[in-house]
Each structure stands twice: as structure tokens, then as C-alpha cells.
Structure 1
Amino acid sequence: MPVNAGPEFMEAELEYQRATTPEERLLGLKKMLKTAPKHKGSEKLLAEIKKKIAKILEQQERVKQIAKRAGRASAGIKKEGAARVCIIGATNTGKSSLLAKITNSKARISEYPYTTTEPEIGVLDYIGIKVQVVEIPAIIQDFIETDSGSYFVSLMKESSLLIVLYRNEEERKLVRSELRKMRLSVPTIELSQQEAKERSQDVPWKIWKNLGLIKVYTKQPRKPKEFPPVSLGKGATIRDLATKIHKDFVQKFKHARVFGSSVKFPGQQVGLGHVLADDDVVELYTKD
């Protein structure tokens, strides 16, 4: 007997197929279950929908348990610093080693596969700018469908950059394929295991250049620039800098003097709309 699904079911099925998160897939499945025909010929379809719903609910419960064991809230790891970067790759590609080299992490490093079963976290200090770096457990086939896949994907989705480590072309293609399934719109850097190992000192610079951020220093007249610098998005203005330092700066703003590549000469006087560049040094002046 044919299913003979109506337009409401077809629309719900399309919503499910376009979903990019476990929550969206669950919502789509529930709509499919609600709008699916209820007769002898649809029993198999209904059973499949219920099975998929049960699997997502089970995955969500496992995510909560993982977060609980790690001493974090079920919502996941709190995003800290100027940005979050995730290191991903197949097993034994050197993810833990790279994390340890570029951050303060004490991640367990082993030659045995699948040593990392939960996210490892470190902090990269790039010239005073703090960047959170998270190592994601090994990427495998149908990663998002694994017990904790949706939890790990959510961490990646909230990141500003992904670093993909691989040993060979097969591993690189695997990760690329899995990223397409996850439908992530996150910038990616690909590094071979050998490159990451031999030139790990260059990785922090590569991370910074791909984060879409700039660092700006502030100073008082006739004094050295202050440290650490302030991180801002590319295209940020004096207004953005003043707001980040203190909300009152914008209201009391008089003018600013800038030293760096964004001005024609050192100490040029500018207004709130002036666009800053990386490594600019700024003096802010306020009204009396």
C-alpha cells in the first residue's frame, strides 16, 4: 500500500533534510511524524521516523553526560578569549602535540589511536591576545552521527577557525567530506602532520592572519604604548575601540591620535569613524 504523503509532510521532510543542527533535525522529524499518514502502508515510515527521533534524543542525553563529566554545563564549553580555534583531524594526526606546543595545554599525547575522547582546551597567547584552542576528538566516517558528534560539531560551529591536520590525502579527503556533511561556514587551515610538527612555531602567526582580527595598542601622551593590546575585528573604527575600553569614552570623545599604517603620518588626528589597522597605536582624548 503506498504512503501517499500530503504536502505538509513533504514540507516537513524538506525542513528535516535542510537542518544543520540536532535541534533543527529533531524539530523536522517531529513535524514529519505529526503530518505523516496513519494507515497500514505508512507503518514502516512511522517506525523509521520514531527511530531517528529516539537516536537524536539519545545523542543529546549523551552530550549532557559528557559535559557533566567534564565539569561543564550541558550547553558546552564556554567561549573565552578573542576567538575560538578548533584543531581537527583523523586519529593520530598530531592534534594533541600541536595543542601542547602552541598553548598552555597539558593534553595527553599518545601513539595509540583515539586517545582523545573529550575536547582538550588550551589558550594561545599571541602577543598578548588570548585565543581559545580546542582539540576535537578524531574525525571518523559519519562523525556527526556518532554518540557525541552533535556536541563536538556545535563547538566547531561556534569557532572562528578550524585547523585540519592530516597525514595523507585520504585523511584530508575524509575530513573535507565530513565538514561538508556538517555544513559549517568556518574558515579552515589545512596542515600536514609533518608541517605542523616541523614548523609549529609558525602556526600562531597563521592562526592570527586567518582570524579576521586586528590588535590595537592604546597609550597616553608622551608615554609608551600599553600592553596587552586590544583585539578588534577587521574594519573596526576608533568608535569600536573606545566602546570596548569604556562606554563613557564615546560620549566624552574629543579626538584621537593614531600612530601606524592606517594614517598618513604618525600622530594624525582622527575622529570616531577612522578605520584602524593591525598594530596601530592610539591616543584617546576626551572632553573636560
Structure 2
Amino acid sequence: MPANLTPEYKHAEQAYRLARQPREQLECLKEMLRVIPKHKGTERLQADIKSRIRELSHESAGHGKAAHRGPSHAVHPEGAAQLCLIGPPGAGKSTLHERLTGSGSEAGPYPHPTRLPVPGMLPFEDINFQLVDLPSVSAEFMQPGLTDILRMADGVLLVVDLSAPDCTERLSLILQRLGEAKIHLSERWPGHADSPVAPAEPEAADPFSVHLPTLLLANKTDLASPEDAAVLEDLLGVRFPALATSATRGSGLAEIGPFLFSALGIVRVYTKAPGKPVDQSRPFTMRRGDIVMDVAQRVHPDLARTFKFARIWGSGKFSGQQVGAGHLVDDRDVVELHS
């Protein structure tokens, strides 16, 4: 039976997908349950929503099933985007993280040296990307709570040791275990027009399935051929964009920042108050397709509510052009907001 989901429900579901904090997610779920059409075609979806409400309610109260999974190790997102490093034991993930961020992430010649998520910042020009080193995934173990952290991320850096004889089986296992948790690693990046086109979603698409854009880091290329990455993807039937890296030699590391900037569609916007100089110390990191009103909302919700017009330097027809709330912003635009 078709679900026939209403625009009101779809709006609530979209708000849930965008929510980053458990309390905010819980409120969105309650709204989804309130407005979802109550008939046989939505019974399974209603059950999933109720189950997720129970999980989040238990987490907030600090008891029940969620408490037995151990403490929450959520990482507050910072910078232009949050990316998680994931991979099998021994892939060089923590060494890569240390080289990229200077985080002090623990690396060792034994399985699972990283037991907690380790955040660090990767600088790129005048912005930073937050890279979170996650515990390794193996056939024997996947850290409780790992999938909760992934659900909040903007993307994944999938680290694979091409020199390992069982690297195909290890990567296949990671894809399988994440898939069981409704986390799917995707070839599609929002800023790349040539990303594969996603299939049309069914009307009642699972709101708890997450599709994370993924960059394959074919690591330890000092011990294996970079061409092995293509063979690996052929065997697994995936087509992630890939970079050949070596944490020990440092090769390929300088390409990660530019890739993330382009693939995520990052747009830097600098703001200035009327009659004041431009603040070039901390740009607001927007996304391609964002408009002036999105910038106003990021600066301050009150400014968005009282917005009248803006002047823009960069993507306007001339410097200081007066534009409305719907004007698209471009990288390195300077925006002066008037309310």
C-alpha cells in the first residue's frame, strides 16, 4: 500500500535529517510521528519512528538499552565540515590522521589502538575541516556508538591498506557492517556535477538510512601500486573517488584539502558591517546553492528576521550591488547585511 506521505510529514523528516543534536532529533521525531498519515501503508515507518524515539529518550535519561552500550562519545562538529576516518585495523588510519591534523592520534602495531573518537583540524587556505579518527572495524569488533558518530558526519574518508593481502575482504566487511546499521557509503559528493546520479527514492524512503559521500584513501602506496585501488573497486563493485596516499612519506596528503573543498561545494563568504572594513579572519563556510538569507541566518537569527537588503562584492554585477535575500552567494563574496 502506498504511504502517501504529506508535505507536512516530509518537512518534519527533512528537519530530522538536518538535526545534529540528539535533543533536536528527538523533537523532530515526535513531530514526524504526530503528522504521519495513520494507515496500513505507514505502519512499519511508524514503528521505526517510535523505536528511534525510545532510543533517544533512553539516551537522554541515561538509562535503559542505550546506557548499556557505554558512554556517548559524540564529537561536536567544528570547521567547514566534519569528516570521519574509518578503516580496518592496520590500514594506517591513525598515522594519516596525525600527519594531517597533528592530533596525537595513537597508532600502534596491534589491532584497535584507537578506542575513542579523536577529533583534529585539517587546515586548508583560510578554513579548517574537522577530521575524526574513529576506532577500526574488524570481523571481531565494531565500537559501540561508532555509527551514531557517523550519522552526524558530512562525509567519510575510507582508509585502506592496499598492501594487505585481504584488503578486499576487510573493505567488504566494513561496507556490510555499516549497511546493517543503515549507513551507506556513497560515491556521490554534493559539489561534483559528475557524481553518479542517485536513483529515484521511493515515496516512503527510510528516514533512518544515511548516505555518506566517501573518499577512498588508498594508503601505504609505498608498499603497493596505486593502480590496485581500481582493482579493489572493481572487485567490490563500487566507484568511490580515490586518492593514493602514504602516511610515512606524506605523498598524496596535500590533495585531500582541495578535494574536500571542491567535492563538498564549500563557499566562503566574508561579512562586513556598514561603514566598517571586511572581516577576513573567519569566513562563513556556506554551500554552493546557498543564498544571502542563509548567510544572514548564520550570522544571527535576529538579523535574518529583520533583513531588508544586502550589498555584495564579488558575484554581483558591480561592487557593492544591492541584492535581495534570494541572491546566490559565490566563493569569496563579501556581504554587507542591512536590517
Interval of TM-score (by shorter of Structure 1 and Structure 2): 0.5 to 0.7
Aligned residues between the structures: 228
More helix by share: 1
Residue 94 of structure 1 and its aligned partner are, at CA, apart by 1.6
Specify the code of the residue in structure 1 equivalent to 2:337. L
The whole-number CA distance in structure 2 between the counterparts of 1:77 and 1:141 is 24
Question: 2:217 corresponds to which residue?
Answer: 191
Specify the code of the residue in structure 2 equivalent to 1:229. P
The correspondence for 2:154, drawn from 160, 166, 176, is 160
From the CA coordinates, give the structure whose radius of gyration is larger.
1
Question: 1:270 corresponds to which residue?
Answer: 323
The whole-number CA distance in structure 1 between the counterparts of 2:68 and 2:254 is 37
Deviation readout 1:79-111 (Å, 9 max, x if unpaired): 231432110011111211221122241111223
With the length of structure 1 as denominator, give the TM-score of the two structures: 0.67
Q: Closer, same or farther in 2 for the Cα pair 1:200/1:173, shift >3 Å?
A: same
Question: 1:49 corresponds to which residue?
Answer: none
Specify the code of the residue in structure 2 equivalent to 1:123. M
The whole-number CA distance in structure 2 between the counterparts of 1:61 and 1:251 is 40
Q: Is the 8 A contact 1:258 1:281 kept in 2?
A: yes
Between 131-140 and 262-271, the greater mean CA deviation after superposition: 262-271
Structure 1 residue ranges without an equivalent (≥5) = 1-10, 28-55, 68-73
Q: Closer, same or farther in 2 for the Cα pair 1:205/1:157, shift >3 Å?
A: same
Specify the code of the residue in structure 2 equivalent to 1:176. L
Deviation readout 1:200-234 (Å, 9 max, x if unpaired): 12212222333344221113557345221012233
Query: Is residue 246 of structure 1 aligned with residue 300 of structure 2?
Result: yes
Give the RMSD, CA atoms, in angstroms: 3.3
Q: Is the 8 A contact 2:75 2:119 kept in 1?
A: no
Q: How does 1:61-210 map to 2 (within 5 A)?
A: 61-64=67-70, 67=71, 74=72, 76-82=73-79, 83-141=81-139, 146=142, 148-149=143-144, 151-168=145-162, 170=168, 171-184=170-183, 185-193=211-219, 194=221, 195-197=244-246, 198-210=251-263
What is the DSSP-based 3-state SS (H/G/I as helix, E as strand, rest coil) of the residue aligned with 1:91?
coil
Q: Closer, same or farther in 2 for the Cα pair 1:124/1:19, shift >3 Å?
A: farther
Identity %: 27
What is the DSSP-based 3-state SS (H/G/I as helix, E as strand, rest coil) of the residue aligned with 2:157?
strand
Deviation readout 1:47-89 (Å, 9 max, x if unpaired): xxxxxxxxx94xx44532xx3xxxxxx3x32423143211001
Q: Is the 8 A contact 1:142 1:178 kept in 2?
A: no
Deviation readout 1:241-281 (Å, 9 max, x if unpaired): 12221334335544322223x43444332111111122222
With the length of structure 2 as denominator, give the TM-score of the two structures: 0.58
Query: Is residue 216 of structure 1 aligned with residue 269 of structure 2?
Result: yes
What is the DSSP-based 3-state SS (H/G/I as helix, E as strand, rest coil) of the residue aligned with 1:278?
coil
